[in-house]
Structure 1
C-alpha cells in the first residue's frame, strides 16, 4: 500500500475532526478542543516506559493537559504490566489508562472484563487513519478496546557504516548473505553481531523474523494463535536456521556465554559504544534512540539500518510491536481517560513524540516530515507502507506466561537454545509443551 503524504491538521481543527467536537470556541467540545473542559480532573496512566521514553510520553501528556486542563499522572509498571495492573484493580486503585505492550495481555484484560470498549469517536478515527491490521490487534471478539499509539518496526538490522566500509561489505539482501557478510566483518577484526541474550524477548524477535519469512504469513498467524503446534516441522526448520548463527562463535561477540550476559542496551553499546566489539546488532527501530541518546551517534551517518533480509525463498519480513492504549472499566476517571485516548488517536498527539525522537506511529495521517531524521522517516514509511502485511510480534500475542515473562516459557527456552543450539527438534518440543500449558490456562 502506497502511503499518501498528508499535511498535519493543527490546533482546534484537527482535534475537532478527530474527537467529534461540535465547534471551536462556541458550545461544548470534547477533549482537545482547547476549552479546558477537563479542568480539575486527573488522568492516571500506567505503562512500561521509563527513562527517555517516559520523558517523551510525558510531553504528549503535557500537550493533552494544555488542550483540556486535565492533569496527568504516569506510573511506570516495569515489564510485568499484567501483574501490576491486576493488583491495582484488586486494591481498588485502578489507573484510568494503561499502555499495554502485548496483544496477549490486552486479550487477557478484555476476557477478565477489565476494559471499556473504545468510544465511537476513537473507533471512527482508527478506522479512517490506521491500516485494518491495527484494528484487528486492538480488538477481542469483535470489540475494539485498544488504540496502537506507539509502534515498533522489528525487522531492522542496525550496523556501523564504518565497520562495513572497513570490511568492504554492503547491506545484504538474504539471510545467507547476512551470515556471509558477518564472516567478512569478523575477518576484519570485529565480531559480526552483538546478541542481547540476557533479554529473552530479543531472541523471540530473531525467531519471528526468520519464521515469518521462511514459513510465510499463514503459518505465522496459525502459530501465533497456537492453531499450529510448536513441534511443527516449520518451527524446527526456523530454529535450525537461527541455530546456524547462534552456534557460530565467529559471528557472536564474546560467543554464546557473553551473549547470555548481554542485555539489550549492552548489545547496542557493543556496536555503537566507545569500544566497538561488533559490526551489527539486530533489533527494532528503537536501537537508533539508544545509539543516539547514549552514545552520541548521528543516525544515518554513524549508525544505519537495513531491512531484515529474506530467508530461503521467502519474502523479507515486517514484524511489528506496539503499545496499545486501553481504558479500564473500573477506573475512577474512565470518562476523562477515554478523552485522552481520543487525543492519542490524532496525528497531532503522535507528532509531539515524533519530533522528540525514538518513536514510530502507525497513524497514516502523521506527516513523515514530523520525524526528526531521514532514517526514522524511512522506518516509519516502511511500517505504514506495509499495511496489512505487517505481522505483530508473535510472543506479544501469546499468553504472558509463554511469551512475556522472564525466566519461563519462550524467553527461557530460546535462551537455553542460544546456550546449546544443537537440537532444534527437542527445543521445538519443549516450546510446544510450554505453549500448550499457557494457552490452556
Structure 2
C-alpha cells in the first residue's frame, strides 16, 4: 500500500455523507445469512456481456505489475488469460512489493517498466503522473469507463482533470466477519452500534474465546480500524479535512476516535494473543485463525473488507454459513462506509497497453474475476448474479447502489511516508498505540509530527 506527495481528493467521490451507502449495506447484509457469450468479428472480438471490442494483438507482449499474491493473484491471472484469448497478446504478471511506487521506480530506472500497473491508491496515481510515468487513458478506454462507472469512481482515477486510472477492483472496508459457531455457542448477536459491539465482544469473551483477531503486523489494518471509527464518530466533513491534513492529528476529534478504539484494543483478553501477538500476526493469519479450530478458534471476530473471503476460502469455513458478516457498527450518527480500490494505470502508451486498460474497464473482465470470489467491482454493468454466493452478491448490489456516497480510505490518500510505508508514519504510530492504548495524547503528537513532515504543509 502506498501514497503520494500531495493528496488528490475529488469532490464527486467525497461530497456526500455515507448514510445512504451505509443503509444500503446494512439492508443487504441483513438479508444474508455469467459472463456473456463471445462472438468473432473479423479483426476484433466482442462479448455480449459488455460488448467490449478489442484489437487483434498477435505477437504483442505485455506485462502487468501488482502487489497481489495467493488466490488474488491467481484469479487476476485468469482475467489476463481471457484478454490473451481474445486478442492473441501474451501477458506476464509481475509480482510487485510494497510500496509499489518504489518498486516501479526501480523497474523504470532499470529500463524495464511494466506496461500497466495496478495502483492501490489515488495518491499513487498522482505520484506516477508527477514522475511522468503514467500515460492518460486513450479514447476507447475512456469511453468504456464512462459507460460502466459512476462519476465518483471515474473521478478518483483522474489527475488534474485527465483520466489515468481504471478502478478495476473495489473494496468495502466497513465489515466485521464472525465465526457463526462461536456466536451461537456464546449466545451473541450481531451489533448495530458501538456499545452493542462492546456488549457482543464481552459475551464472546465470557464464552471462553477472544473476541477479536487483529493483523497488527500489517499497519494498514490498524489505519482501517481508525478510519471507520473516525468517519462514523467525527463525520464526513472532518474526515475529509483530516485526509487532506487541513486539521491536525492533535484535534479533539482524533482524541475521541483513539479513545474509542482503546475500548477494544486495550481491553485485556479481547485481542487474540494480546498486543504482542497481534503485532506478530499478518493480515491473512488474522482471518484464518478466526475460522479454524472448530468452535474454539483463536478469535470470534475479525475486522476487514470484503476481500477477507479469499482468506476464508483457505479454511474449511463456508461464507454465509460458518463465516458471517455485519456492517461496521455506527459509533456516531451513521454507520461508516469506507472504500478502497486498485486502479489500472498505463505506463507504456502502446496499442496493447491501452487495449488492456479498455478490457479492464469492461464488465467482461470484471465478470471473470467476480465468479471466482473475494472480489468486488465498481463496474455498474457487472451482473450481481455472477458473484459466487449470496453474501457477495448483496455486497455488490450495495456498492453499486451507493453510487458516489462513500469515503475513500484515508491513509490511501496520504503521502507515502505517512500513510503507506511499513515501519513509518501512521502505520508505525498505530502499531505503537495498539501496544499502549492508554497513550492517546502521545500517539496524537507522533501522528501529527509524522503527518506534518510527510505532507510538508506545516498545518
Answer yes or no: same fold by TM over 0.5: yes
In the other structure, the counterpart of 1:305 is: 325
Contact 2:425/2:451, CA 8 A, preserved across alignment: yes
Contact 1:196/1:262, CA 8 A, preserved across alignment: yes
Is 1:68 aligned to residue 87 of structure 2?
yes
1:251 is paired with a residue whose SS is: coil
Root-mean-square deviation (CA), in Å? Answer: 2.1
1:272 is paired with a residue whose SS is: coil
In the other structure, the counterpart of 2:15 is: none
Distance 2:46 2:381 in 1: 20
Is 1:285 aligned to residue 312 of structure 2?
no
Written as runs of structure 1 = structure 2, the 5 A alignment for 1:13-412 is: 25-26=41-42, 37-274=56-293, 276-292=297-313, 294-312=314-332, 314-328=333-347, 331=348, 334-412=350-428
Which 5+ residue runs of structure 2 have no aligned equivalent?
A: 1-19, 25-33
**Residue 325 of structure 1: how far off its partner (Å):** 0.1
Distance 2:54 2:311 in 1: 38
Contact 2:54/2:359, CA 8 A, preserved across alignment: no
Range with bigger deviation, 100-109 or 414-423: 100-109
Distance 1:380 1:236 in 2: 34
Range with bigger deviation, 117-126 or 370-379: 117-126
Larger relative contact order (Cα-Cα within 8 Å, sequence gap ≥ 6): 2
Written as runs of structure 1 = structure 2, the 5 A alignment for 1:402-441 is: 402-440=418-456
Is 1:11 aligned to residue 50 of structure 2?
no
Contact 2:35/2:368, CA 8 A, preserved across alignment: no
Contact 2:54/2:355, CA 8 A, preserved across alignment: no
Contact 2:198/2:264, CA 8 A, preserved across alignment: yes
**Number of positions where the alignment pairs a residue of Structure 1 with one of Structure 2:** 422
**Residue 128 of structure 1: how far off its partner (Å):** 2.9
**Residue 208 of structure 1: how far off its partner (Å):** 0.4
Superposed CA deviations along residues 50-108 of structure 1, whole A, max 9, x for unmatched, are 21111110100000011111110110012221111011112221111000012221111
Contact 1:318/1:386, CA 8 A, preserved across alignment: no
Contact 1:209/1:308, CA 8 A, preserved across alignment: yes
**Residue 382 of structure 1: how far off its partner (Å):** 2.2
Distance 2:413 2:382 in 1: 26
Contact 1:25/1:35, CA 8 A, preserved across alignment: no
Which 5+ residue runs of structure 1 have no aligned equivalent?
A: 13-23
Contact 1:103/1:398, CA 8 A, preserved across alignment: no
Distance 1:57 1:348 in 2: 13
Q: TM-score, normalised by structure 1?
A: 0.91
Superposed CA deviations along residues 182-207 of structure 1, whole A, max 9, x for unmatched, are 00010011011011111111000000
2:450 is paired with a residue whose SS is: helix
**Residue 167 of structure 1: how far off its partner (Å):** 1.1
Distance 2:224 2:58 in 1: 43
Runs of 4+ with >6 A deviation? 27-36
Contact 1:222/1:228, CA 8 A, preserved across alignment: yes
Contact 2:44/2:87, CA 8 A, preserved across alignment: no
- The 3 A distance-change label for structure 1 pair 28 and 51 is closer
